[in-house]
Structure 1
Amino acid sequence: MKRTVGGSLMLGLALLTGCTMQTPTDLAVHEALFYGGNQQRVVWVYGTLTGGSDSSVKLGDKVATLRPQLTGDALGLAGTLSVDAKATYSGTTSPTDRRVSVTRVGNQYSIQALGNVESVFATDGGGTWYRLSGPVTAGQTVLATASTNTALRGAGDLTNAEADALGAELKGQGALAVAVLPGTTLPDAPLKVEPALEAGRHPVTGLYVQSGIVQVASAGPVTPIIPPVGSAPAQPAGSVGRQLAGGSNATASEFQVIVAQNASVLSTLWNTAYGRQTSAPALPSLSAGRSVVGVFLGQRPTGGYSLSLASARISGGVLELTVNVSAPGQGSITTQSLTSPWIATEITGSFSSVVVRDAVTGLVLN
């Protein structure tokens, strides 16, 4: 043990002083950074050992010993080297905010992007993987039809072998969704590698894992919507929506959009809106070609916050909701209790995604 530690310290000193160390040829490092339900950094080191001898490389602040790849480890891929007697180098990643919320609705998936994502995949937990969508912008909700996919192939910069290996590792964790995150939004930087790598030989793929996918039933028989008691302001001419209801005491702690096109999802929306009240208006019903979209601002520290619909339009399959967001002015007397503003809007027409904008600033809410 003393000999091993001493050798590592000497090698680390050699690195710091710029001395030459033995490294494999064709060196490359591939990283997969997991967030959400998994917080792990998985790092493959590719290369060829010279003369069959061991080699070394510095990953982050650690000098690692590279040897021929292990046998019998699913992560030990062709062309890779073992790192400190393990198939890959591993570490933990930083906590991050929720990036996506995926719900299965009948044979489709509702994807609510809470941050920009490049693509979304899902598995049923039994070994079958699906690709749900390409890029989804923060604030959008997309209704997607799943297409069968080979593990996580096509996710970020993963090679097919890496995608297959990670898909197999996630197989036993039940139904889950995996969103590919843009590299510029990752909480963690790539590992610093010494000797420095050539351009293109250090790809990094960020993956947000949503553990568990809630499934709701498909829509049953439909009847016309009956608005709850309490009329909302009339909407401008040409608007495809009208506000059905609103309030300030929802159960939502974060910003979210719920698109209800069947009774089951509408019940979820209603429970989110009225879950803190002892009673709620009767649940509306849906007619063909209509849906109800709930917009929830999330938790606010005091009273005085409110939300109302300014307009709704559909263009190119995108539903754009423009909303009025009110906040208490400086020095205002407000209730000193947590609030959660929301509105529910009836929409006529078909759409595949939703964008919510502030009527004053024009900025997308998320």
Structure 2
Amino acid sequence: MKKTAGASMVLGLALLTGCSMEGIGNLSVHEALFYGGNQQRFAWVYGTLGGKNSSVKLGDRVTTLRPQLSGDALGLPGTLSVDGKATYSGTTSATGNRMNVTRVGTGYSIQALGNLEAVFATDGTAWFRLSGPVAAGQTVIATAVSNTALRGAGDLTDAEADALGAELKGQGALAVAVLPDPTLPDQPFKVDPELAEGRHPVTGLYVQGGILNAASGQPAQAALPAAGTSALPGGTGRQLAGGGNASASSFQVIVAGDVASLATLWNTAYGRQTSPPALPALTPGHSVVGVFLGERPTGGYGVSLASAQIVGGVLELRLNVSAPGPGSITTQALTSPWLAADISGSFSSVVVKDAATGRTLN
């Protein structure tokens, strides 16, 4: 599914022409089929309503199309909501492994177990393009080239590629391969009324969660950049780092006031990475506090620092805890969210609470 100028213009052209269905014009559908770490089918429905709701049959479902929802990251310009959701969603068929991607030094090794059209990867903070076509049975060493989300993947428009990339990024290190159309286990669903040729592009994506370091067999991981280092109101603390692949299997808090305890905290945070970042410097009168939520069954979980205050010798940390919502795109690999915060002042104990609910985490 090489992206061509004609393919990239399909949806745009569809919006300029009419559809014979009463109550809706300019109808076109674009499917994204996920395999591997995900078995999910998403479809954007593009069109105009002509001032009223309309129905269209997608697969075996008669769906109701309405104006697009506001505030949903998958609700793209020109699309309609489907049964009250930003996209049509369903499941795909199981498929065997299509690739093994591992870190080798500063590059990536791609072992193709089936034909691949292109391979992309994220370290949880940025996206990279690793390769173009790789034939089944080949193993290639690739250099990561910075890429905007999943742009250039199959027939995805830039807006679709950005939305899917944002959904997957932050779920730890993972790789995404574009699969050739003839190798997809699922056919495009039927649309009634039938769409004209070119109005129903399909992009198949194979997701490999948990990219491993070839030398250690442990998950590759990267520290979050300085986006989380801004001081909190009151100046009590600031988030230093965080991620989704700590070595902690259960909830724990580590308080580090010296180099030895800080090394323990850092090893817990980055114990699954062969080249962890250097220890941060300890400031006199400050401590580094690590909070580890423990293992989660999929990607899509996260944690960040909302507030920190010391009252009566007790440090109270309130955290923004996130979990994947219904229909979210998540990798099917174990993750372990964590954060590390720099705290100024003295305290004898720590209480950790969910900022949204006030519930104590333990």
Say if 2:60 is the partner of 1:61.
Answer: yes
Q: Which residue of 2 aligns with 1:72?
A: 71
CA distance in 2, matches of 1:172, 1:72: 20
Say if 2:165 is the partner of 1:167.
Answer: yes
- Tell me the secondary structure at the aligned position of residue 167 of structure 1: helix
Q: Which residue of 1 aligns with 2:92?
A: 93
- Post-superposition offset of 1:216: 3.8
Partner AA of 2:183 in structure 1: T
* Matched-pair contact (CA < 8 Å) for 1:60–1:193: yes
CA displacement 1:75-118 (0-9 Å, x = unmatched): 00000000001000000000001001000111110000000000
CA distance in 2, matches of 1:151, 1:57: 31
* Matched-pair contact (CA < 8 Å) for 2:174–2:209: yes
* Matched-pair contact (CA < 8 Å) for 2:23–2:52: no
CA distance in 2, matches of 1:202, 1:107: 39
- Tell me the secondary structure at the aligned position of residue 177 of structure 1: strand
Give the superposed CA RMSD. 1.3
Structural mapping, 1:168-247, within 5 Å: 168-216=166-214
CA distance in 2, matches of 1:174, 1:94: 24
Say if 2:44 is the partner of 1:44.
Answer: yes
- Post-superposition offset of 1:179: 0.4
* Matched-pair contact (CA < 8 Å) for 1:23–1:57: no
Q: Which residue of 2 aligns with 1:345?
A: none
* Matched-pair contact (CA < 8 Å) for 1:22–1:56: no
Q: Which residue of 1 aligns with 2:280?
A: none
Runs of 4+ in 1 over 2 A off after TM superposition: 20-23
* Matched-pair contact (CA < 8 Å) for 1:114–1:139: yes
- Tell me the secondary structure at the aligned position of residue 154 of structure 1: coil
CA distance in 1, matches of 2:181, 2:214: 33
Rg larger for:
1
Q: Which residue of 2 aligns with 1:361?
A: none
Say if 2:143 is the partner of 1:156.
Answer: no
Structural mapping, 1:1-366, within 5 Å: 22-50=22-50, 52-126=51-125, 128-216=126-214
* Matched-pair contact (CA < 8 Å) for 1:40–1:92: yes
CA distance in 2, matches of 1:91, 1:115: 24
CA distance in 2, matches of 1:44, 1:98: 27
- Post-superposition offset of 1:56: 1.1
- Tell me the secondary structure at the aligned position of residue 162 of structure 1: helix
CA distance in 2, matches of 1:23, 1:147: 45
CA distance in 1, matches of 2:95, 2:215: 31
* Matched-pair contact (CA < 8 Å) for 2:30–2:200: yes
Runs of at least 5 residues in structure 2 that lack an aligned partner in the other structure: 1-19, 217-362
- Tell me the secondary structure at the aligned position of residue 151 of structure 1: coil
CA displacement 1:192-249 (0-9 Å, x = unmatched): 001011111100000000011012459xxxxxxxxxxxxxxxxxxxxxxxxxxxxxxx
- Post-superposition offset of 1:171: 1.3
CA distance in 1, matches of 2:122, 2:116: 17
- Tell me the secondary structure at the aligned position of residue 200 of structure 2: coil
- Post-superposition offset of 1:53: 0.4
CA distance in 1, matches of 2:193, 2:164: 27
CA displacement 1:282-333 (0-9 Å, x = unmatched): xxxxxxxxxxxxxxxxxxxxxxxxxxxxxxxxxxxxxxxxxxxxxxxxxxxx
- Tell me the secondary structure at the aligned position of residue 136 of structure 2: coil
Q: Give the TM-score taking structure 2 as reference length.
A: 0.53
Partner AA of 1:59 in structure 2: L
* Compared CA separation, residues 134 and 163, structure 1 to 2 (3 A): same
- Post-superposition offset of 1:22: 2.8
Partner AA of 2:123 in structure 1: D
- Post-superposition offset of 1:24: 1.5
Q: Give the TM-score taking structure 1 as reference length.
A: 0.53
* Compared CA separation, residues 107 and 200, structure 1 to 2 (3 A): same
Runs of at least 5 residues in structure 1 that lack an aligned partner in the other structure: 1-19, 219-366
Q: Which residue of 2 aligns with 1:282?
A: none
- Tell me the secondary structure at the aligned position of residue 172 of structure 1: coil
- Post-superposition offset of 1:43: 0.4
Q: Which residue of 1 aligns with 2:333?
A: none
CA distance in 2, matches of 1:172, 1:95: 24
CA distance in 2, matches of 1:61, 1:171: 32
CA distance in 2, matches of 1:107, 1:215: 10
- Tell me the secondary structure at the aligned position of residue 169 of structure 1: helix
CA distance in 2, matches of 1:169, 1:24: 29
Partner AA of 1:26 in structure 2: N
CA displacement 1:338-359 (0-9 Å, x = unmatched): xxxxxxxxxxxxxxxxxxxxxx
CA distance in 2, matches of 1:41, 1:89: 8
Q: Which residue of 1 aligns with 2:324?
A: none
CA distance in 2, matches of 1:94, 1:75: 22
Partner AA of 1:43 in structure 2: A
* Matched-pair contact (CA < 8 Å) for 1:39–1:95: yes
